[in-house]
Structure 1
Amino acid sequence: MGEPTVTDLDQAVPTVDRTIHDVGAAWMLDPVTSARGKDAGYENPFAFYFAGRGGVLGDVDAGVVTAAFGWFEPGAVRAMWDEGVAVAGAREAARRYGRACARWGEEHLAGLDGAAVDRLTELSGRVVATADGSGLPLFAGWRAEATVDGGPARLMQQINVLREWRAALHLCATTAAGLAPLETVLAAGGPNRARFLGWRDVADDAAADPSAVARREEAEAATNRLTAAVYGRALTPSEFAEYAELVTKAGAAALG
């Protein structure tokens, strides 16, 4: 297949990937998702998040989950993972989490017309199938999960897989740049973000090292190059342009 031009990808990939990230984050952080987790047996929404999202890894030690998630404080991961998997095991937690994702999509992507839903599902499916899962366990795990038959629910599950894909690539890129998890978090979001991810001892005036900020920016650029390469193999230039437009529409429907 033909490749989108470098200029097209340079301009579009960061925006496309950011929209996918934001839609995925919206469903994960939605209080409705927490309520559904509670209905499914998870009193603690963070336990539902860790066991649900990480459940595709199987019955593993929390240290494995910490490695796959990347930027969370290890002690927080262990506490939430152990609490979550105690409810119904890891694989069942993933299935319940996937169903919550599908239901969120039914509700928040309903504004897209059927043709747009089907086309974006098709194009994103090609991207997911083309991507190499080497070194990306969460992406590979979610790609292997069963999905619903179609419609906005399946599209949302596909968006979740795309989000895991880019997040895993970015984790590889930050690691390759020599950044420790906390360094990455401080460089990207500061102390408030660090505390949200479980690093409770971070002071209000904690600042990222300038060299860490520069390396994090390099990692961001590397991640964009990695996703762009897959887009170029999976889609023709015109298909990529169509994909980018449809992602924008999905973002507007889900986040608007």
Structure 2
Amino acid sequence: MHLANTFPRTSMDLNAVREVSLTINAAHLFVYFIPEAPEQAAELGVTEYAPAYFAFRSAPMGAVPWQVTLAAFYSFSPRSVQAMAGVWEAATPQQWQAARFTAAGRALQRVGVDLTADQIAEARSLIDPVVASADYAGKTMAAANASVPLPSDPLVALWQQITVLREWRGDAHVTVLAANGLGPCDCNVLQTATGHFPEAIARATRLWDDEEVAAATTRLAARGWLDTDGTATDAGIAAREQIEAETDARCATLWTPIGDANVRRLTSLIMPIHDAFTAAGTYPFRVETGDTQPTDAETAG
């Protein structure tokens, strides 16, 4: 039975839940593509992208071993996450978190995000109650980010609250993937086959090898979700959408404290963050937002 059929019902409009989830992901995503991030990492003595990425994103959890990061991130191969060995010797998690905030702040200023002080305050008045009342049981990455003290810069603080909820949906999505029998490599293969993540980026960042991808393709083909050549079938496309729908259902109660109208208002308030980074040519691929089909919570993060 799909989880969406058993998860507690709410009165939330799932279309509004989907739209705000996509917009939150889009507003968070720039941190993985901006030049300011590797510049700040270099100041901490780390000049390669992969270890810096894992350090920046893992920092809220503390100085965890790479195996914990692997478990929390889910979609990465062990060989990719092992790249973070030594990052806590280069700098403490607190230093990595501060550097991430600095990078985000510099980038937000560089691209000229068009949010007034009043709009930032309004967005905070909507997002803060959601963060404060969220159920963090089983939400490792969201709970870790919620524990991080907010920076003094109002726009960066808003971005961190966005990050908490982006990771909350990601944690929920991982639960749905596992419940539907989609392992870490399998979900990558299905995601790329259905056109939601460029295969070249998936291969370069997740580092699943040809043998592992072939095995995942065989498993998905046995379920009727892929053809043997790796092309997604209609059943595979429908299955992936069902997984997204199940994730939406799990996220619906998250937004209950502010209701549909305020969810849509928050969506419109934070969209300029994504718009500014898109206009600045930040992304090597199209980032899906609320007016398009769903994107996986783990598209780049």
TM-score, normalized by length of structure 1?
Answer: 0.85
Residue 36 of structure 2: aligned partner: 32
Residue 285 of structure 2: aligned partner: none
In structure 2, which of residues 156, 159, 162 is the aligned counterpart of residue 159 of structure 1?
162
Residue 228 of structure 1: aligned partner: 252
Q: Deviations over 1:67-111 (max 9, x none)?
A: 0011011111012x2132231133432332233234333444631
In structure 2, which of residues 67, 73, 78 is the aligned counterpart of residue 69 of structure 1?
73
Of the structure 1 ranges 118-127 and 22-31, higher mean CA displacement relative to structure 2 is found in: 22-31
Contact 2:32 2:53 (8 Å CA) reproduced: yes
Q: Secondary structure at the match of 2:45?
A: coil
Distance in 1 (alpha carbons) for counterparts of 2:70 and 2:30: 22
In structure 2, which of residues 124, 140, 148 is the aligned counterpart of residue 137 of structure 1?
140
Residue 146 of structure 1: aligned partner: 149
In structure 1, which of residues 195, 200, 225 is the aligned counterpart of residue 203 of structure 2?
195
In structure 2, give the amino acid aligned to 1:194: A
In structure 2, give the amino acid aligned to 1:247: I
Q: Deviations over 1:185-216 (max 9, x none)?
A: 1111244343133324237x954725354544
In structure 1, which of residues 242, 248, 252 is the aligned counterpart of residue 265 of structure 2?
242
Residue 100 of structure 1: aligned partner: 103
Contact 1:109 1:152 (8 Å CA) reproduced: no
Distance in 2 (alpha carbons) for counterparts of 1:103 and 1:158: 18
The Cα of 1:17 is off from its aligned counterpart by 1.3
Correspondence 1:217 to 2:241: yes
Q: Deviations over 1:219-252 (max 9, x none)?
A: 21111112222112x2033322312221334432
Distance in 2 (alpha carbons) for counterparts of 1:127 and 1:108: 28
Q: Secondary structure at the match of 2:206?
A: coil
The Cα of 1:138 is off from its aligned counterpart by 1.3
Q: Deviations over 1:161-195 (max 9, x none)?
A: 22211111111111111111000011112443431
The Cα of 1:122 is off from its aligned counterpart by 2.0
Distance in 2 (alpha carbons) for counterparts of 1:146 and 1:36: 19
TM-score, normalized by length of structure 2?
Answer: 0.74
In structure 1, give the amino acid aligned to 2:247: T
Query: How many residue pairs are counted as aligned between the two chains?
Result: 249
Contact 2:123 2:266 (8 Å CA) reproduced: yes
Distance in 2 (alpha carbons) for counterparts of 1:249 and 1:77: 32
- Which runs of 5 or more structure 2 residues have no equivalent in the other structure? 1-8, 194-198, 226-235, 280-301
Cα distance change of structure 1 residues 91 and 113 upon mapping to structure 2, 3 Å threshold: closer
Cα distance change of structure 1 residues 128 and 239 upon mapping to structure 2, 3 Å threshold: same
The Cα of 1:4 is off from its aligned counterpart by 8.6
Q: Secondary structure at the match of 2:247?
A: helix
Higher relative contact order (CA 8 A, sep 6+): 2
In structure 1, which of residues 29, 39, 53 is the aligned counterpart of residue 57 of structure 2?
53
Cα distance change of structure 1 residues 108 and 40 upon mapping to structure 2, 3 Å threshold: farther
Percent of pairs identical after alignment? 24
Correspondence 1:15 to 2:19: yes
- Which runs of 5 or more structure 1 residues have no equivalent in the other structure? none
